[in-house]
Amino acid sequence: MVHRPRAPRRLGVAVMAALTIGTVNAAALAADCATLPSPIYGIGGSAPRPLFARLGQALSQATPPETFIYQAPGACHGPNYVIAGTRITGTASYWDAAGVEQTCDLPLTGANVDVGVANTFADNCPGIDALPQNVGDFQGPVNPFVFIVPKASSQTTISAAAAYFVYGFGETGQAQPWVDESQIIKRDPNSAAAIIIALAIGVPVERLKGVDALTNPNTVLLVSGSPAPERAIGFVSGEVAEANASVINVLAYQHSDQSCGYWPSSTATGFDKRNVRDGHYPLWGALHFFTRLGSNGAPTNPAAARLIGYFTGALPPPSGVDVPAITIAAGSIPSCAMRVQRDRDVGPLASFAPEDPCGCYFERVATGATTCQACTDSSECPDSAPACRRGYCEDY
């Protein structure tokens, strides 16, 4: 009996030693970020991670290869780090040529941020009234934000008024069935998802009720795994919702000036994003890339210029990297497929005519089908859609 208590202590020491050795070995095997091919360092929100996973894989496979290295503590960290010149430290994610997310160690003194990334305008972020003149905002693809519920929930739609009471008052809001604050999932004020949802429903972002999930993927986990599925609700980016469609449902959303609710696409489970692209679905934001500018208004950082140029079309991507196709496959909308635009989040819509429209190509890649006529040259296109672009006859 004297010796029995000691056995667990010896075992505990042995296990702890093994774990310590394993941790040390894992840390020793982690890649050095600075030694990866042509690293591009970014920081920002978790919403675009599905897009960056596909982009990172494509860049890793390119000739010559490039590596996108990313931390995702929240959208508003993107512009704030660029404005303050803050370095990123610790570890970061990157995606290898097989598309597998890997982790690398940043320098002990940190790495300079090439691009800050957010699905929101910088002036919506805490501590930022306006961007300084030496920081640029370059807009990329559009991503919807959606309210989600567990697969087992019977709920199919939510109005702005209902969401106001859910996220503005929680248990006292009496917006059945979402009255249990332990099952109302939110994000903090640095989250683009929280900012856009808060703007849409008229609740200050810092006063949203519920449990902070910290990231888009964690929101999915908390909502889908809720012990009370009828009372659970959250919001995430459209990219993340599509990637987790097997465990959550997207609610149709009725804005304050609408007579009915809309999904981002023409159906609840569709991928055409038609209601986002034509302005019926209001919960969306463009992906913003923030970086330092020179006196000529161009990015001073070559790595930032490359990444931004791939999305804006200012620079050709590496051979074999099709940025619009990658964007569509990830669940986002390249700007060439949009027909509306905004100059502020959840602000008034204006008609938009992209220079090189790709609506037909978007529908073909996103859904596998399009009613547009295929073509190899504009001479094959009808008068109603006279321009052959990316293999399909567009309106102009």
The string of pLDDT tens digits covering residues 60-85 is 999 899 999 999 999 999 999 999 99
DSSP 8-state class, residue 345 = T
177, 270 Cβ separation under 8 angstroms? no
- Residue 128 neighbours by CB distance under 10 Å: 16
CA distance 234 to 378: 46
pLDDT value at 5 more than 60: no
pLDDT value at 359 more than 90: yes
CA angle 77, 167, 126 (to 5 degrees): 25
CATH of region 32-139+285-340, choose from 3.90.1150.60, 3.20.20.210, 3.40.190.10, 3.30.1490.20: 3.40.190.10
174, 324 Cβ separation under 8 angstroms? no
- For the chain, how far is it from start to end, CA to CA, in angstroms? 88
156, 252 Cβ separation under 8 angstroms? yes
* pLDDT for the residue 339: 97
What CATH number has the domain spanning 142-283?
Answer: 3.40.190.10
Query: In the structure, what pLDDT confidence band is assigned to residue 27 with cuts at 50, 70 and 90?
Result: very low
DSSP strands (E only) in 34-170: 39-44, 67-71, 91-95, 101-105, 115-118, 135-150, 157-159
- % helix, strand, coil for the chain, step of 5: 35, 25, 45
* pLDDT for the residue 29: 64
Residue 222 tokens, joined: 């908390």
Q: Do domains 32-139+285-340 and 142-283 have the same CATH topology?
A: yes
Describe the crossing of helices 160-169 and 192-201 by its angle, rounded to 10 degrees: 120
* pLDDT for the residue 30: 76
Tell me the pLDDT tens digit for each residue of 265-301: 999 999 999 999 999 999 999 999 999 999 999 999 9
pLDDT value at 13 more than 60: no
Which percentage of the chain shows pLDDT scores above 90? 90
The domains of the chain are located at: 32-139+285-340, 142-283, 357-396
Q: 39-44 and 31-32 as β-strands: parallel, antiparallel, unpaired?
A: unpaired
Could you give the C-alpha distances from 23 to 18, 19, 26, 29, 106, in angstroms and in order? Answer: 8, 6, 5, 10, 17
* pLDDT for the residue 25: 43
- Residue 261 neighbours by CB distance under 10 Å: 17
- Assign residue 85 a region: left if phi > 0, alpha if psi is -120 to 50, beta otherwise? left
Query: In the structure, what pLDDT confidence band is assigned to residue 356 with cuts at 50, 70 and 90?
Result: very high
**Mean pLDDT of the chain, nearest integer:** 92
Q: What is the mean pLDDT of residues 112-132?
A: 97
